[in-house]
Structure 1
Amino acid sequence: MRTALPARLSARVSAAAALALIPAALVASAPAASAATAMATRPASFTASAKSVPITSTVTFKAQAQQLRAKTWRATPGATATVWFDQDGAKANTAMRTIKADAKGNFSTSFSASASGVWTIRLAPTATLQASTSAPIRVNVTIPASTRPASGSWNCPSWAPIKGNASSHIYHVPGGRYYAKTKPEICFSSPAAAVRAGYRASKA
């Protein structure tokens, strides 16, 4: 003889039985539906104005945000992207700047060259667009052996910190006794560069 189930328990059993009738494939695919419908994207025509430049020169990067619609790549106005830089010897990529595409989907941004490394641009994902990353571009930055300081300046640039005195042909390194008191006529990138130019080290 069967014993009647309490009303609350019977309701729970009925609900569980109803859920069991829902096809497993339908339940599994539901959360992925939005991702599956997001369109593919790409940062097309990613370029640099130069791939080998002296330090502190300006390098301009350009690209166009595109999305794949009906098997055709089309511009994506207003898309958001981030420019990344992987400096030689650095531990990880660094996000340098976030920019927005213009009305034609075009990006353009400039940086002062400070070190050699690899640049990429990454399109941010949205509810309807997938994320994507450009092919990398390597930019080599060269460091001249010497440079002239700004007129009247007592300082040398950080990449050429060695102060040279033209009249004595003596050079002074940071931390030296007369370094702060020397107004440079020329700045060298290294002591070796100063020696090659005919300068000798300060004895103090």
Structure 2
Amino acid sequence: MDIATMLQMLFEGFLVSMQIFAFTLIGAVPLGIVVALLRMSRVAPVRWITRLYISIMRGTPLMLQMFAIYFAPYYVFGIQLTTDSKWYATIVAFIVNYAAYFAEIYRSGIQSISRGQYEAAEVLGYSRVQTFVHIVLPQVVKRILPAMGNEVITLVKDTSLAFSIGVAEMFSTARALVASQVSMVPFAIAAAFYWVFNFLVEMVLGLLEKRLDYYHD
């Protein structure tokens, strides 16, 4: 097999990886906000249940969570699995897993804002919504951006775990090519794809950090 064909196959797998990446961010970023607010709820049972959810998601392997979500419909409800089941299980597992991590990052950012700023905003006549949107949120975004960036970069690499339930993303394509071609070249090309994309992510995050730097010259 020539390099051009190999690149085409790996690029098709890379597009699947990027779909997992995009759908995870679209689902996990807003869900993480909801989970963070529930985690800080004044209602004790809600707070405890949310803490348990976060603990399970962070304390068990993502691969195991994918297996559980993929096989649960069949073993628990007797629902027959289809080809699409693998894809849906992957997306759901990634979203609920990363939402737990994002929630803790959001929570730490929100709780890092001093109470005095809320009191000052109240004195100035700001509503709770105005205080959060105009005063708290910009500071929270700036403070959590490095941690969020680390999770986003980890997510790019974690997409390779989808191979465990048979989703044909880039890593599984590379494994198949290595086995058929008896060559490590597909792994090297796949590594280059991951690195280049992560490099672009780092550049975007760096630009965002500079944009949010209130103390730049």
**Same-fold status (TM-score > 0.5):** no
Bigger strand share: 1
TM-score using structure 2 length: 0.22
Structure with the bigger RCO (C-alpha within 8 Å, sep 6+) is 2
Bigger helix share: 2
